[in-house]
Amino acid sequence: MKLFYLFLIVTILSGFTGHLNEKDPKAQASITTGADQTNLYVDYLKGKRVAVMANPTTIIGKKHLVDSLQSLGINIVKVFGPEHGFRGNASAGVKVKDEKDRETGIPIISLYGGKNKPSKQDMADIDVLIYDLQDVGVRFYTNINALSRLMEACSESDKEMLILDRPNPNAYLIDGPVLDMKYKSGIGMFPLPMSHGLTVAEFAQMANGEGWLTNKVKCKLKIIKVANYTHDMPYVLPVKPSPNLNTQQAIMLYPSTCMFEGIYLNHGRGTQFPFTVLGSPELKGKYSFSFTPRSIKGMSETPIFMNQVCYGLDLRNYDVEQLRKSGKINLKWIMELYKAHPHKEKFFNSKLSKEMNNIEIQIGSGLFRQQIIDGKSEAEIRASWEPGLSEYKKMRKKYLLYP
């Protein structure tokens, strides 16, 4: 119980809010991330030149992994930074420059700026690359894309990757259409369903095993598994994984509400509660709930419908346990809002806002747009995801590290 209360205090102090696993707090407290099991990998790192793919979720206890490893005598020669940057202070989609870390003096090489993959030169002076980023288990969350490119760089330079695995808070959920590869993009690179039910280490094994890396190369992997963990265990993140996933509620709703990035609605960007509200000025009179998106530095600086009152759905108190019980992405919200929208020709029109993605790119299917327009039932929409989704579930079993 001491561990549980320590975790609760850390969560409150960090400003990261959410509902703890009230049914079994001991289970939450017993989960030990790969990074926290230093006894399993510190000796392996000693004497090696180490690079780390890191952001603010890269922690051992309450301390950043880079700082912890340095204090243990590990030679960290460089850090690779993903979207949002090493310290996590860049807005979504904003290019990040190379720099030196103010706290450690370690060079930070951005993989979300001028390049998205380490060069041969970047890899030449390292012996092992650590990957330790918290993921949320959704295809369009870009960390797994960055992981695949790092795996390719390791393979091409004959270097090993050490993955310090972390729980996937949405690991219980395997749902959505498997990506039609003609819609491959920066938010969908692999034939995964929208919510894939994998930890990053399991994804890495799948990418190797299914030949998904460029030229079908394979990366040498050393994996430190999460201890005392299963896929169906609720997991509350101790640190927000990115600026706009700033609550546990947002993380649990994300598989269902991130599809609204392909819809002419605001999904909470420009508020302090992204991915938990949905609305548009054009829904005035249809809904009583309202919110006004603003420019927020480090989160969303030019949100759709900025400074306009939006009307729609407030999901901040939605019981996410309903999602867990159903084991499904919620399609009802998008179906409801389409029916309520007075200008249906705008609903999927990505030309109306630079903040929108094409819905086919977002969902990964060429059928979804017309299915919503035609008023297809949820059962009919889900039927179109087969047999791909069932085939994926069967294939996935080969790469699982956890029950």
Give the start-to-end residue ranges of the domains of the chain.
31-224, 248-366
Q: What pLDDT does 127 receive?
A: 98
- Asked whether 199 and 226 are in contact (CB, 8 A), the reply is yes
Instruction: List, as own/partner pairs, every contact residues 325-329 make where C-beta atoms lie below 8 angstroms and the sequence separation is at least 24, other chains included.
Output: 327/172, 327/173, 327/174, 327/175, 328/173, 328/175, 328/382, 329/173, 329/175, 329/176, 329/194, 329/195, 329/255, 329/256, 329/259
Q: What pLDDT does 298 receive?
A: 85
Write out the CATH class of domain 31-224. Answer: alpha beta
Those residues of the chain that have pLDDT short of 70 are 1-27, 84-85, 87-94
Is residue 290 exposed (0-12), middle (13-18) or buried (19+ Cβ within 10 Å)?
Answer: middle
Q: What pLDDT does 2 receive?
A: 39
Q: What pLDDT does 200 receive?
A: 98
Q: What pLDDT does 172 receive?
A: 97
pTM above threshold 0.85? yes
Q: What pLDDT does 104 receive?
A: 81
Q: What pLDDT does 82 receive?
A: 80
Q: What pLDDT does 1 receive?
A: 40
CA pair distance 219, 148, nearest whole angstrom: 9
Q: What pLDDT does 112 receive?
A: 80
